[in-house]
């Protein structure tokens, strides 16, 4: 059987898969924080027709001859480049300028009774502790956040956003019974080691036990959420948590703009809360980046590049089909020689 037939079939297969990837990129050109993918090919095993020979006294060296057997997918690599920032004007929209990810979870709300503890040295969360708390943690760069009927800060698909509560000398903001007033004008720090479900309620409990309505929220570059109250005071509600990975290209795409860590991405390294010790510079931007409130990250897909790749891939697909057609004609000619 002609090897060109098998090479042509392999070429059809990989170029079809490349067209699938290009089609997915184009379809997601408007998806928030989408990262486009590129396909890289590798040649398949080559068969030796003749071996190489070294030079002798009478003859020079002879190169070996090999015939390739086609092509295969080498990698489908995700482009991790930063997408453009799109201003939305929505106070709860947040874009990450850098390499970090928001932490989100499905499961029971984590509050003062059931927090997840971050190791202050390694900046890791024990997976067993997350399982015990019933939390299924995933990661996203889509910061189009909103609130549910309980006041939980959530993603568009209903996943709860994780972060830190904050505290002053006597009060911690997010407790099991709700959100309490922490004055933005006095020294305060994040709890630093306990991840909780961030809550932005309609009102905050004041020191005297009364409540005051929230009129407006804002989020700064460190993810600290503050709120203006109807009594004209300002309270700190909490801080949005961020995670980074040694190999972001190794994350598994779960759909819905959500990712899961894998053995090759490494475990999530979690940014310390506001005011934590900065001996390892884990409280600053560093590997995580900063947050831009009132903006969302756009898809990083370049349509011009995708259309160019689509044309080249389509022509390659047609050429491989032609290889199969020519191989078929040759086989018919060989069979006809018997007549």
Same domain assignment for residues 275 and 170: yes
Q: Domains in the chain: how many in total?
A: 2
Same domain assignment for residues 244 and 183: yes
DSSP state of 234: E
Same domain assignment for residues 73 and 89: no
Same domain assignment for residues 277 and 312: no
- Give per-residue pLDDT as tens, 195-209: 889 999 999 999 888
Q: pLDDT at residue 87 above 90?
A: yes
Same domain assignment for residues 159 and 100: yes
Same domain assignment for residues 95 and 71: no
Average pLDDT over residues 278-305: 78
Same domain assignment for residues 111 and 51: no
With beta carbons less than 8 A apart as the criterion, state whether 182 and 171 touch: yes
Domain of residue 134, residue span: 85-297
- Residue 132 — pLDDT band, cuts 50, 70, 90? low
pTM, two decimal places: 0.85
Q: What is the mean pLDDT of the chain?
A: 87
Question: Residue 76: what pLDDT?
Answer: 93
Same domain assignment for residues 44 and 146: no
Same domain assignment for residues 182 and 39: no
- Give per-residue pLDDT as tens, 208-245: 889 999 999 999 999 999 999 999 999 999 999 999 99
Same domain assignment for residues 7 and 89: no
Question: Residue 121: what pLDDT?
Answer: 67
Q: What whole-number distance in Å separates Cα of residue 191 and Cα of residue 276? A: 8
- Give per-residue pLDDT as tens, 62-78: 888 888 888 999 999 99
Same domain assignment for residues 328 and 274: no
The total number of residues shown for the chain amounts to 339
Same domain assignment for residues 67 and 212: no
Q: pLDDT at residue 126 above 80?
A: no
């Amino acid at each position: 059987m002609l090897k060109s037939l098998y090479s042509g079939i392999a070429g059809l297969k990989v170029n079809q898969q490349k067209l699938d990837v290009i089609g997915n990129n184009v379809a997601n050109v408007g998806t928030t924080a989408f990262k486009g993918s590129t396909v890289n090919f590798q040649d398949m095993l080559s068969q030796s027709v003749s071996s190489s020979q070294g030079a002798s006294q009478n003859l020079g060296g002879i190169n070996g001859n090999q015939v390739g057997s086609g092509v295969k997918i080498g990698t489908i690599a995700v482009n991790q480049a930063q997408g453009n920032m799109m201003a939305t004007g929505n106070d709860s929209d947040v874009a990450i300028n850098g390499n970090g990810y928001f932490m989100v979870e499905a499961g029971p709300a984590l509050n003062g009774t059931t927090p997840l503890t971050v190791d202050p040295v390694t900046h890791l969360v024990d997976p067993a502790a997350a399982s015990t708390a019933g939390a299924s943690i995933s990661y996203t760069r889509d910061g189009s956040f909103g609130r549910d009927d309980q006041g939980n800060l959530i993603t568009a698909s209903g996943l709860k956003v994780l972060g830190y509560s904050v505290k002053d000398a006597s009060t911690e903001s997010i407790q099991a019974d709700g959100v309490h007033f922490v004055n933005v004008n006095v020294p305060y720090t994040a709890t630093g080691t306990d991840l909780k479900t961030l809550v932005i309620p309609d009102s905050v409990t004041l020191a005297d036990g009364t409540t005051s309505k929230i009129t407006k929220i804002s989020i700064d570059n460190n993810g600290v959420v503050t709120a203006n109250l109807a009594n004209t005071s300002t309270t700190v509600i909490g801080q949005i948590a961020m995670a980074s990975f040694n190999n972001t290209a190794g994350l598994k795409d779960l759909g819905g703009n959500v990712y899961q860590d894998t053995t090759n991405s490494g475990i999530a390294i979690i940014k310390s809360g506001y005011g934590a010790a900065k001996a390892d510079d884990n409280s600053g931007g560093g590997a995580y980046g900063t947050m831009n409130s009132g903006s969302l990250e756009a898809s990083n897909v370049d349509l011009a590049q995708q259309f160019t790749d689509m044309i080249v891939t389509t022509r390659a697909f047609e050429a491989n089909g032609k290889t199969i057609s020519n191989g078929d004609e040759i086989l018919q000619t060989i069979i006809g020689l018997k007549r």
